[in-house]
Amino acid sequence: MHGIVSVIVVSIIITDFLLLSAGWLKSAIRIVAVQGLALGLLPLFVHQDGLSFRLTAIAILVIMLKGIVFPRLLMRSLREMNTVRTITYYVGPMASLLVGIAVLSSSLWWGYVLPLPDQTGYRLAIPMVFFTIVTGLFLIVSRRQALMQIIGYLALENGVYTFGVFFAQSESMLIEIGILLDVFVGVYIMGVMVFHISREFDNIEAGQLSTLKDWFQNRKELAGKDPES
Amino acid sequence: MKINLLPIVHLVLAMVAAPLLSGIINRTKAIMAGRRGQPILQAYHDLFKLLRKGAVYSRTTSSLFRLGPIVNLAAIITGLLLVPFAGCPGFIAFDGDLVVLAYLLGLARFFVVSAALDTGSSFEGMGASREVMFSILVEPTLFLGLFSLSRLSHSLSLSGILYASGVTGWIIGAPALVAGTLFVLYLAENSRIPFDDPLTHLELTMIHEVMVLDHSGPDFGLVLYGSALKLWLFGALFVGVFSPDLTEAGVWIREGYALAGMVLLPIAVGIVESSMARLRLLKVPQLLVGAGALSLLATILVLG
Amino acid sequence: MMILAIILIPACAGLASFVTRQNIVRRIVLIVTAIMHLALTAAMWLQGPDPIMNGWLQLDALGLVFLSIVSCLFMAAAVYGVSYLARELPGTRPDFQESDLFVNEPEAVFIGCLLLFLSTMTLVTCSHNFVVLWVAVEATTLSSAPLIYFHRHHRSLEATWKYLLICSVGIALALLGTFFLAFAAAGKEAGGVPLVVGELIARASSLRLPFIKVAFLFMLVGYGTKMGLAPMHSWLPDAHSEAPSVVSALLSGALLNCAFLGILRVVQVLNGAGAGDFARDLLLVFGLLSVVVATVFIVAQLDFKRMLAYSSIEHMGILAVGVGLGGLGSFGALLHAVNHSLAKGMLFLVAGNILARYHTKSIQMITGVSHELPVSAMLWMAGLVAITGTPPFGLFQSELTIIRAAFDSGHLLAAVVLLAALGIITAVCLFSIAAFFKLIKIEVAD
């Protein structure tokens, strides 16, 4: 039991590294699907009060949602949006990998600092959670495309949900609320917004979603415009 | 008496059987491509042919050029002395010999690179700079991997580190990660796809081949033999990490297992080489840093 | 019972608006719901409602204050909104800023989401269980996103995308904070403490203290994103300037306050657990940072709706500083919340008038407001004077209270920063008033 959880935790960390260094949108979608699958298996093996029907239902729901539904939605959005298939960066894959290594090392420090009791017995749980969360945030910030921002958000949610599975099982409904977050925001963002974005722009990049700026960011263009016209 | 002879037997076996490995790789690739391919003993024929030839030395080169292949071979043979095989400790074993091994490999690489730069040709220089850049990423990975294994087995000698992890150890956790990392290093250090294509004839796409482009005759023979021994060395490292706990088994079972591993590894490399193309040069550092991250992860798993 | 009514009536009205066919019916539903909501709120002032659902939903004095703000603002917004929608032309038409063609969102979606927005904000004010609070704040994000995307062109799409993404990241972090809180509550007692504010305060000694602090940090960052605290504020200027003015008024006046309420609930728990200093220090830091950032960005704004948005950020910073000072400062902060919402709501609605008349958001290009729209001009001037904290308006009193609290408690740096920021912003607003009335001319330097 302990062994399988270690395998799952290590594979989630590996998927985070793969996400940071991915070069194609399709592979990023597949990696986040694998991450969701690995997470979905967690409640089956991490339980403080024994495997209950609730945990099994949660596991099945999460596997279906994160492993099947969301990747399908993302793939469909990818097809509809007329975008380049490679990932475009503000921070390149090498630098992202190095940042990931630094973040993993500091997550270890977090793991030592937060005196979470050994009721879980998994030393790597907290570092993995923080690493996944920061990876998600980093992907949102350092990738140009809207689709990669969504994938980063999914990674962030994965991290938060994993924390819930490890440490907040006893509080009623809390994990289910986390899944609810997934469903709402996922369907909302992916289904609705990407549809609108794809209709609005021909070639979608979040770099294009940046026309709204303060005037001093636009002043070169403003200087050319005659204000009295 | 038999126990003392085993390291010598292993050493002789390594020196005799090493050129077989590249033959196995080439045969596997040929079979996967639907051809019959070279004979497995082709490397021996090449070595003997080269030893009979004369060497041509350019006027721009110095004695460093002649020294390069010699020191390369010497360093690798010395490294072979340290590596254990089939559960038996190496010919020489002492605390900290893993550091010596890494530095011996570095010494070999240094002299090959220096000989390449000594020719003054731009192709060799390009190959040298690429080789050195990859080695910057390879060496910390190797160190981290070996360090995590040494933490796990509480030993500072290669002979204690390898063949030490039990079966439960290698299914999950650090040894599995280190084994994966070592496989990537096996491909990287021996200039296999996806890092370097040994079959390319375009100098601009070569890394290792182009460094030794100007060696001829016996020198080139020494270079080829050194590469073969390096294949054996890394293969022995990988088999050592990947093996289960066999201390109770008899000598023949251990030998058989190790030899089987040494043969299966080139077959796996051949399959990998046939299924992938060489990576773009920009992507190679990414893969190496990824391998480095894996060995860092292994180290993290072992610490604490 | 009353709590259920006040939450469910707007929700049902909103769902009903999605399916009604005629605009008139929908607008009538909107006004009627607003009136009923206001009436229920007034009734709750007279007699406090009973807690329901095991104490998960109850209305205490703090919630009642914020609920009243929401209700009043919504009433004004509903009246304004009906005439706003009546004037909106159907079909595609050119955008005044870039001459691209765009179309409006279906009115059903707009009014439906408006009512759902009201319902979810009411839920935020009534919830005492942290999980319900989180769900409600998340629901406000989801229900207000289509409101920003009313004029369907690429700028508002971008604003909506930023809003949705940044606020969802904030909400995910707030969920992490709630998980930490749950972990802290599952402490030394068997079965743990339910995540209800009152219970957590009452049984504060059995909570794990370090995790309460971490939980507060995450929830501050998470709900602070929705509140508009710097450095998580980047969605605010875009969303407030691209949304229709009705929506901007509600976002600024009501939604930011509801997010603030979420933070206040956690601060209550921390105070009960004895870690109040930690909370107050963090609030001071974020609050002062917001004030400074807003001041810097407001100095050279050319777009009056963005200017109002940055002013909202500044006032949210003042709220955080007020609570961060504690005691008298908290009182000042709540007073400030009420004053600010009313003033900012009015300002945004008047801005809507000006925008509708002049079809431009640039301060430079608007001339002669006092002739064209005399009432709006007077209200605009009064509003700008009010929002900077000039007497005799209420904001002066609340800001004075907060600054006095800063001096009293020895936070001299905070007081000085606040005074400096307020001074600069007053100057900026006076400049823009003068520019509006063509007393001076603003030019863009290269």
- Which among C134, C179, C192 has the least Cβ separation from residue A164? C179
**Chain B interface disruption, residue of A31, A86, A97, most B CBs within 10 A:** A97
At B88 the three-state DSSP class reads: strand
Secondary structure of residue A86 in the 3-state scheme: strand
- The pLDDT score that the predictor gives to residue C364 is 73
Chain A residues in contact with C131 (beta carbon < 8 A):
171, 173-174, 177
A227 interaction partners in chain C (CB closer than 8 Å)? 362, 364-365, 443-444
Residue B172 confidence (pLDDT) above 70: no
Cis-peptide into C49, omega within 30 deg: no
The pLDDT of B173-190, averaged and rounded, is 86
State ipTM. 0.88
Contact C301 A214 (CB under 8 A): yes
Q: Considering CB atoms only, which of B168, B290, B301 is closest to A17?
A: B290
d(CA C196, CA C209): 17
B171 has pLDDT over 50: no
Distance CA A65, CA B192 (A): 40
User: How many domains would you assign to chain C?
Assistant: 1
**Residue B34 confidence class, pLDDT cut points 50, 70, 90:** very high
The full set of domain ranges for chain B reads: 2-302
pLDDT of residue A164: 85
Nearest to C393 by CA among C434, C349, C339: C339
Cβ contact B–A (≥3 pairs, < 8 Å) = yes
Express each pLDDT in B251-269 by its tens digit: 888 888 889 999 999 999 9
Q: What is the pLDDT of residue B229?
A: 95
The predicted-structure confidence for B218-255, as pLDDT tens digits, reads as follows 999 999 999 999 999 999 999 888 777 666 777 888 88
Residue ranges making up the domain that contains A148: 2-224
Instruction: Assess contact for C332 and C398: CB atoms under 8 A.
Output: yes
Report whether the peptide linkage leading into residue B194 is cis, meaning its omega lies within 30 degrees of zero. yes
Residue C278's CB is within 10 A of a number of other CB atoms, namely 16
CB under 8 Å to A87, separation ≥6 — which residues? A22, A23, A24, A25, A28, A143, A145, A148
Model confidence at A205, pLDDT cuts 50, 70, 90, reads low
CA C42, C43, C46, C48 dihedral sign is negative
* Residue whose C-alpha is closest to residue A146's, from A102, A193, A216: A193
Q: State which residue of chain A sits closest to B292, comparing Cα positions.
A: A101
Q: Report pLDDT for B183.
A: 92
Cα dihedral sign, C110-C112-C113-C115: positive
Given this model, what pLDDT does residue C334 score? 93
From the CA atom positions of chain C, what is the Rg in Å?
21
Query: Can you read off the two tokens belonging to residue C227?
Result: 């509140």
On whether any CB of chain B is under 8 Å from the CB of A93, the answer is yes
C204-215 pLDDT, tens digit per residue, is 777 888 888 889
Q: What residues of chain C lie within 8 A of the CB of A219, using their CB?
A: 444, 446
- B1 has pLDDT over 50: no
Q: What is the DSSP letter of A24?
A: B
CB atoms C135 and A149 under 8 Å: no
In the block, tokens 């020196």 appear at B15
| CA–CA distance, C283 with B131 (Å, rounded to integer) | 54
Residues in chain C with pLDDT values less than 50? 446
What distance in Å separates the CA atoms of residue A95 and residue A98, rounded to the nearest whole number?
Answer: 5
Give me the residues paired with residue C151 across strands. C104
Q: Based on the structure, what is the number of domains in chain A?
A: 1
- Tokens coding B62: 């110095």
How would residue B165 be classed by pLDDT, with cut points 50, 70 and 90? low
The distance of B169 to chain A (nearest Cα, Å) reads 10
The mean pLDDT of A105-132, rounded to a whole number, is 78
Whether A104 sits inside 8 A of B297 (CB atoms) is yes
Contact (CB, 8 A) for C183 and A167: yes
- Answer yes or no: is C297 within a domain: yes
Residue C445 lies in a domain: no
The answer to whether the CB atoms of C303 and A219 lie below 8 A apart is no
Res A36: pLDDT: 93
Closest CA–CA distance from residue B153 to any residue of chain A (Å): 19
What average pLDDT does the structure give for chain A? 80
Domain-located, residue A229: no
According to the model, what pLDDT value does residue C21 have? 84
Query: CA C65 to CA C224: how far, in whole Å?
Result: 20
Q: Provide the residue range defining the domain that includes C311.
A: 2-436
CB contact under 8 A, B293 and A101: yes
Scan for tokens 């070999």, then name that residue. Answer: B108
pLDDT band at B33 (very low <50, low <70, confident <90, very high): very high
A131 close to A167: Cβ distance less than 8 angstroms: no
Question: SS in 3 state form for chain C?
Answer: CHHHHHHHHHHHHHHHHHHCCCHHHHHHHHHHHHHHHHHHHHHHHHCCCCCEHHHCECCCHHHHHHHHHHHHHHHHHHHHHHHHHHHCCCCCEECCCCCCEEEECCHHHHHHHHHHHHHHHHHHHHECEHHHHHHHHHHHHHHHHHHHCCEECHHHHHHHHHHHHHHHHHHHHHHHHHHHHHHHHCCCCCCCCCCEHHHHHHCHHHCCHHHHHHHHHHHHHHHHHHHCCCCCCCHHHHHHHHCCHHHHHHHHHHHHHHHHHHHHHHHHHHHHHCCHHHHHHHHHHHHHHHHHHHHHHHCCCCEHHHHHHHHHHHHHHHHHHHHHHCCHHHHHHHHHHHHHHHHHHHHHHHHHHHHHHHCCCECCCCCCHHHHCHHHHHHHHHHHHHHCCCCCCHHHHHHHHHHHHHHHCCCHHHHHHHHHHHHHHHHHHHHHHHHHCCCCCCCCCC
Q: Rounded to whole angstroms, how far apart are CA atoms C66 and C64? A: 5
Query: Looking at the domain assignment, is residue A170 inside a domain?
Result: yes
pLDDT reported for residue B117: 93
Share of chain A above pLDDT 70, in %: 80
Chain A residues with CB-CB distance to C157 below 8 A: 196-197, 200, 209
What's the longest Cα–Cα distance across chain C? 71
Rounded mean pLDDT of B78-90?
Answer: 88
Q: What are phi and psi of C250, to 5 degrees?
A: -65, -40
Residue listed under structure tokens 């259920």: C4
C-alpha to C-alpha distance for A62 and A37, rounded to whole angstroms: 8
Residue C439's pLDDT is 61
How many whole angstroms separate alpha carbon C26 and alpha carbon C23? 5
Q: How confident is the model at residue B41 (pLDDT cuts 50, 70, 90)?
A: very high
Q: Please tell me the predicted confidence (pLDDT) of residue A135.
A: 95
Give the separation between CA A82 and CA A145, rounded to whole angstroms: 12
Q: Which region, left, alpha or beta, applies to residue A203 given φ > 0 means left and ψ of -120 to 50 means alpha?
A: beta
Nearest Cα to Cα of residue C172 among C222, C216, C214: C222
Predicted local distance difference test score (pLDDT) of residue C428:
81
A contacts of B280 (beta carbons < 8 Å): none
Residue A206, in any domain of the structure: yes
- Sort strands C93-94 and C151-152 into parallel, antiparallel or unpaired: unpaired
Name the β-bridge partners of C303: C362
Smallest Cα distance from A101 to chain B, Å: 6
C-alpha–C-alpha distance, residues C248 and C259, integer Å: 15
Given a contact cutoff of 8 angstroms between Cβ atoms, the answer to whether C195 and C178 are in contact is yes
The answer to whether C128 and C197 are in contact (CB under 8 A) is: yes
Distances in Å between the alpha carbon of B209 and those of B14, B116, B130, B190? 23, 11, 12, 11
Question: With bands split at pLDDT 50, 70 and 90, how would you rate the model's confidence at A174?
Answer: confident
Q: Does B285 touch chain A (CB under 8 A)?
A: yes
Query: Quick count: other Cβ atoms within 10 Å of Cβ B38?
Result: 16
